[in-house]
Every structure is written in structure tokens, then in C-alpha cells.
A and B are shown apart, each in its own frame.
Chain A
Amino acid sequence: MEKTNQFELTRNGKAFILFGSLFIILGMAIENYLMIIPGVLFWLIVPSTYISFLKSQKYSFDASVRVSKEYIRSRGLLSVVTEISNTSSSNIKARVSLRFSYHFECIDKPENIYLVLPSNSTTKIVWLLLAVRRGNGEVGPVEISVGPFQFLFRNQRIIDESIYIKILPQRPRINIPWKTKKELLMKMVHEFAQRVRGRGDEFFALRDYLPGDEVKHIDWFATARHDKLISKEYEDERNLHFLIYLDLGSTMFGPKFEYALSSIVELSSLIKGTNHDLAVIAYSDFVKRLIVPQVGKNELRLMLNLFDIEATGVQSNFIDAVKFTKTNQLLHSIAIIFSDLEGDLRRKLQGIHLLQSMGSRVIFVNFSTMHFNILASPDWMLEQAQDMNYRDVIKYIFPSLVEDEYKKREKEVRNILYTIGGDYLEIAGYDDNLILALYRLMKQYSPTHRLVQEALGI
């Protein structure tokens, strides 16, 4: 175990020596005992730290830190164990402090605790931490401070071990029963699987030949029978290929982005354990990250790739991301666009057209700025939002687009989607949920289906 010892008179300590002398000298000069007595107190305290330092020279520790998990979800719990063995022959009174990054909060016990370490024995301290923010969390180092007045004279043994912990996006708050999810998935397969046909090998039906069909798909026997060109239609293996375009642009900054990430988690929980697959393309002005299609069984692998994605401060370029998927042959999928109506709408519309030409089924999910009511100010982007607490974030919020402009844009997007047979979903604030929105969509396709509320048992 790597260990650093820190012994030093702090700036406070030096100031105390000087103040003490100043008070005493001044007090004696004008014969004022009011000043002499506090000065003497300052003089008393500094030597006491020296003496405790000399006494603590014979103390020897050995310590170790372990954590229960390497990765957890946001709002998940983590157990941290510190074992301190006191190998010297006397009891030690010490303050043990566990340092950790802002991603965590302590539960039931503060991070600094004062305890007596018995001689020749090992003390085990267990901290429970709650992950409060997504990202790359850090636990450690552990500081063992011996002796009084640490703010004057630092007398610490620091165990220089930092453990990095991946904190994945938060599990969605609304707890939707698995049965409902399964039902939704079945409906989605029913609605969408035919529309994304062409990628699989399984024979689906015969139909009239249409220009553009491949020649090898023509069923020559049927053609002979009917005396016209008949081609075979293949269907996908009834597996859905979800392709999520995650906007990392400046308008998706902050808690809104966290919510978009949670929605990905939600969608992946929908396909968990099935053979449907999910790919994520995170883009800003260029494609920042591609998480290659992961089938539902590898849901965790997908999650592990999501933990450190952050929104950037630049305008996003959707058309670029679509071109990227085209070159990577991610065609015929259900393209779900996680974005909003802010910024350059033209690029988004062009991208939607391109997606349609790639044979994808488009679902535009609008994380409505009107509902989330948050946009990042330029200050915030400069000051590295990563390193900020949510509590501080509130300061940087400013109002979004005016309502008329917003309505106009929404209409435009809806029109385009209507012409290409795509769908438009709106996530109305934090109370809404992607699964609920998908349910609403499915209800549009088959209105006879029982109500969403009923299905969710609300």
C-alpha cells in the first residue's frame, strides 16, 4: 500500500505564532493584559502540536481500502471498507477521513470519524456511499490524522489509493412492470418488423415485382404460374434493430441530457434478454461515439459504454451522423432520434430524409425544451459542467425559445415526418417517460388497444 506522510506547520500555524508574539509584545508595550492572555494561548497551542508530533513518531499503521463494485448505477449504493491495523504498542486516537469525488454522498455516517485504534489490532470501517451523479467517480485517498489542531500542524498519514468507479446512468424512476414492457415490445414488433423488412433471410410473402427489387429475389415458379414477375419478400427475423441518435449538442446540456441517457437505459431495459438489438450514435458536430449494436442479452455492455458521455458546447450536426451510419451500413433500423427543436432545424430535417432513403423507420423524440425549461448558458459550457453539482446548475438556466417559434418548428417537423411515414414523440418534462410515449404511439396505430393508464395500472 502506497502511503504518504504529511507533517507540516500550516499557514494558519505560522500566522498563530506571529499573532501570539504580536499580541504579547504589543500588550507588554502598552501594558494591556487583554492582549497578553490570548497571545499566551496562541503560544500554548503551537507547542502542543509539536509535542504530539514527536509522540506520534513511534506510531505505525497499515491500511487498505476496498470497494464492493467496480461500476454502479446512479442512485445505487456502494460499500467501501477500510482496514487500519495499528502495529504500535499504544492506543491511538485518530481521525479517519475517506475522501471521494462529488459523485458520491455518505449514508448514515459522515466521511470524517473520530475513533480510538487499539494497539496491535485491526479496525474495520465500512462506509456506505450513495452515487448521486453519473460519470467517473473516485474513492480515496484515506487520511488518518493523529493529534490535535490539524488546522495548525498537519500530522497525517495518507493512503494514496484512488479507486475509480464507473457510475452508469440512472435507472428510470417510473417503475413499469415487465409484463407491460413485454406487451409493448410485442406490439412494436408487430407494427415495425414488417416495415423494416429486407435485412433478414426468413421468407415472408410473395408480391408483385417492383422496380428496384433484386433479381435474385424473383420467384421464377410463381412468375411462371401467374405470368407476371413475382418477387419473394423477406422479413427480418422479427428482430428490431434500434438505432438511437443521441444529440450531444449545446441545447441538450444538463439534466435534460441526463434524462435522455436515462431514456436509453429505459429502452435497453425494454429489450433486455431478447434478441432485439440496440446501437447508439452519440454525435455533436461530428460523431463522438458509436456503440455497436448490442443484443438485449448484452445490455450491461451497452450501459458500461454510456457512463462517461457528456454533452458538448457546440452546435450538433445531425446530417453528418446519418451519413456516418450510412457508411457503416446500419440500414433498415428503427431510428430513434433523441434531440430537440432548438438550433439548426434544417440539418435535422435533411437527416430525417436521408434516414428514410436508408429504409429506416424514423421516430423523432423531442425532449421538449418547453417542458424541461432548461438551456445552458455559454458561461456554463466554459466552466465545465462535468465538475458541477446540480444545486449550482440552477444558476445558469435561461429561458428557451419563444412559444410561437417553437410551435412553428414542431409543425415543420411533424409535416416532414408525416410525408415519410415517421413518428413524432414528445417527452413532456421529467414526469413523462419514453416507454409511456411509445405506448401512446402504439395506441395511435391500434386505437382499440386498451388505454395506457390501464396497462400501467395508474
Chain B
Amino acid sequence: MTMRIRDKVFVEEWEQTTISDTGAPILALAHHLFGALALGIIVFQSAFSLNIYVFAIWLILGIIVLFIDFIRGTSLSLGNELSFGVIFILGTIISLVIGNVNSMFFPEILGRIDIILYQVSAGICVSIRFLITFFYVEFFSQRNYYVKPISNYTEDQVHQYKQNLIKTDFEYTDIKTQGLFQKWGEIFKQMLWPIIILTVLAAAGIIYSLIIYYMIPRNAIAELVIRPSLIIIALLYTYLLIRTNSVLMKIHEKGKSEEIDDIVPDDLEE
């Protein structure tokens, strides 16, 4: 459809500019790479299972994810990650149902440590992909564009306007904003405490399972004791997170009500 003259004039004079932070395309590329890497590892592992169905399913899913990433380009969002997660869960369920139950996670030709290594490395890739998405959503997917004057008339208009504001309250000044590494640093600083907490939790879990193994060595019963108890701990942690949220809200509201209490006597004195 041809553009109306008035819009044409606007487009000729003002260019809509997305903020050209060098981090954004690199992050998007890294995001896609880690997604591809995770799927590559899974496809590689499923090849070892010697089950053609499982291999074919993961290969197809991998290609689909690659295509989706390619089409979306730099528009990363939480919704898109959800579809990625759904594809993962779908693949797991289909390969569990169609293939041999043991073929996906316990292929006979691979040892247990190998399987754990594959899964952990794929999991780390997926986590990094998620982390990149969170970072991207936080800093790049905001409405981060502006219009830039491109014609002589508008450039002059903006220049004159800035000149007219000099030595007034509205004087235009450029402001120093945070750099990319500063933003990364901030995120990691904020995640320091949770990492410590979770390391302690994980260490406790490992020590707990080692103790159980020590008490009931190399026995199926040991697995039956460890896993349910870890699941219960996970549930408790979830409960803790949800409760903490409501407690924080209460702390905040309490702070507010105290402020109000402070104000009331002053009013009465008046």
C-alpha cells in the first residue's frame, strides 16, 4: 500500500532508531547458539541410544527450534522461551512414550556418569540460554527506540530548540548511562546471595544422600529414601519462596502504616 503524503513527510524527516547497543545482537546470537548446542548434545546422546525413533524425534525438534530462532532473530521474549521449554518437555514425553523407556535416559552402551555428564552439560546450556533471555528482557526488550532527525529542516529545528534552552532550567544535557558490563555486574552481584544459599542447600542434599548410602550401601532402598526426601525438600523450598513473598509484602505495608501513625499525632497537635 502506498504511503500517504503526510506519513511520507514524517518518515523522510524522522528516523525511528532502535538503540544500537553492541550487546544486543551478540546476546541474541549467543542465545541461539546455546539453544543449538543444548539440542545438539541431546541429539548426539539420543544417537547413542541406538533407537531410530528417539533420534529422529530429537533431530526434528532440534531443526524446528533452529528455524524458530532464526525467524525470530533478535526479538527475544519470555513467551518465546516458553515455547522452547514446551518443545523440550514434548520431546522428552514423546521419546519416553514412543521409544523404549530406557533408551532415552539409560542407554545401555553409555555408563551412568556419561549420561549425567551429557544431561548436565545440556542443562547448563539451556540455563545459560534462559539467563540470556532474562537479561535481554530486562535491558533490551523495553521500548528502547527513539526518533532521530534526518532531514536538514528537522536537524536544524532540534538544534535551534536546544540552543534556545541553554542557560534555562530545561537546558539539554547528555546523561551518562550504565554500560553493558555494569549491567551484567549488577545482575551477578544480585545473584551472589542466592548462589550461596543454593550451594549450601545442594551441599546439604549431597551430604544427606552420602549418609544414606553409607547407612544402606548400594541398595535400591537407598534410592527410595533419598529421592522422596529431596522432593519433599524441594516442595518446602517452594513454600518458603511463596511465603517469603507475602512476608515481604507485610513488611512493606507495616512500614507504610508506621508512616501514617507518625503523621496522625502531628495533625492532632495542629
Contacts and interface: CB of A to CB of B under 8 A. Distances in A.
Interface of A: 5, 7-9, 12-14, 17-21, 24-25, 28-38, 40-54, 57, 66, 68, 77, 79, 81, 93, 95, 97, 105-116, 123-126, 128, 130, 132, 147-151, 173, 255, 258-259, 374, 390-391, 394, 429-431
A436 B45 CA distance: 76
Nearest to B143: A111
B131 to A, nearest CB: 7
B178 A93 contact: yes
25 contacts: A5-B252, A21-B237, A28-B231, A32-B105, A34-B123, A36-B123, A38-B127, A38-B130, A40-B198, A44-B194, A45-B194, A47-B241, A47-B244, A51-B190, A57-B255, A68-B168, A68-B170, A77-B158, A105-B146, A107-B146, A108-B148, A114-B178, A128-B158, A132-B10, A173-B9
Given A34-B126, A48-B190, 14 more contacts: A8-B249, A33-B120, A34-B42, A38-B85, A38-B127, A53-B248, A79-B172, A81-B169, A113-B177, A128-B172, A130-B147, A148-B186, A255-B6, A394-B1
B173 A124 contact: yes
Contacts of B244: 47, 50
Given A5-B252, A77-B157, A124-B173, A110 B145 contact: yes
Interface stretch (B63-71, B133-141, B214-222): B133-141
B238 to A, nearest CB: 4
Given A28-B234, A81-B170, A125-B175, A12 B78 contact: yes
Contacts of B139: 114
Interface string B175-209: 11110001100110011011101100000000000
Which of B1, B122, B198, B238 has its CB near the most chain A CB atoms (within 10 A)?
B238
B210 interface: no
A43 B237 contact: yes
Given A29-B227, A37-B124, A77-B157, A24 B234 contact: yes
A236 B147 CA distance: 50
Interface of B: 1, 4-7, 9-10, 14, 16, 19, 42, 78, 85, 88, 92, 96, 105, 116, 119-120, 122-124, 126-127, 130-131, 134, 137-139, 142-149, 157-158, 161-162, 165, 168-173, 175-178, 182-183, 186-187, 190-191, 193-195, 197-198, 227, 230-231, 234-235, 237-238, 241-242, 244-245, 248-249, 251-252, 255-256
A48 B191 contact: yes
B198 A28 contact: no
Nearest to A49: B190
Nearest to A374: B4
Contacts of B190: 48-49, 51-52, 147-148
A258 B242 CA distance: 53
User: Shortest 5 CB-CB distances between A and B: which pairs?
Assistant: A37-B123, A430-B5, A33-B119, A21-B238, A79-B170
B112 to A, nearest CB: 9
A43 B78 CA distance: 16
Given A7-B248, A34-B123, A37-B127, A106 B147 contact: yes
Contacts of A151: 78, 137-138
Given A77-B161, A124-B173, A148-B187, A110 B126 contact: no
Contacts of B237: 21, 43
Given A128-B172, A132-B10, A47 B197 contact: yes
Nearest to B162: A128
Contacts of A132: 10
B234 A21 contact: yes
A43 B194 CA distance: 8
A107 B148 contact: yes
B249 A429 contact: no
Given A34-B119, A93-B178, A112-B143, A79 B165 contact: yes
Contacts of A8: 249
Contacts of B170: 66, 68, 79, 81, 126
A113 B231 contact: no
A45 B175 CA distance: 30
A178 B241 CA distance: 71
A44 B134 CA distance: 12
A51 B137 CA distance: 20
Q: Which of A34, A46, A110 has the most CB of B within 10 A?
A: A34
A455 to B, nearest CB: 22
B105 A7 contact: no
B78 A105 contact: no
B1 to A, nearest CB: 6
Nearest to A19: B85
Contacts of A48: 190-191, 193-194
A85 to B, nearest CB: 15
B138 A150 contact: yes
Contacts of B148: 107-108
A79 B164 CA distance: 11
Given A18-B238, A51-B193, A255 B4 contact: yes
A7 B5 contact: no
B214 to A, nearest CB: 21
Contacts of B186: 93, 148
Contacts of A46: 241
Nearest to A125: B175
A146 B149 CA distance: 32
Given A79-B172, A93-B178, A110 B120 contact: no
A47 B127 contact: no
Contacts of B85: 19, 38
Contacts of A173: 9
Given A28-B230, A47-B241, A54-B248, A35 B123 contact: yes
Contacts of A107: 146-149, 158
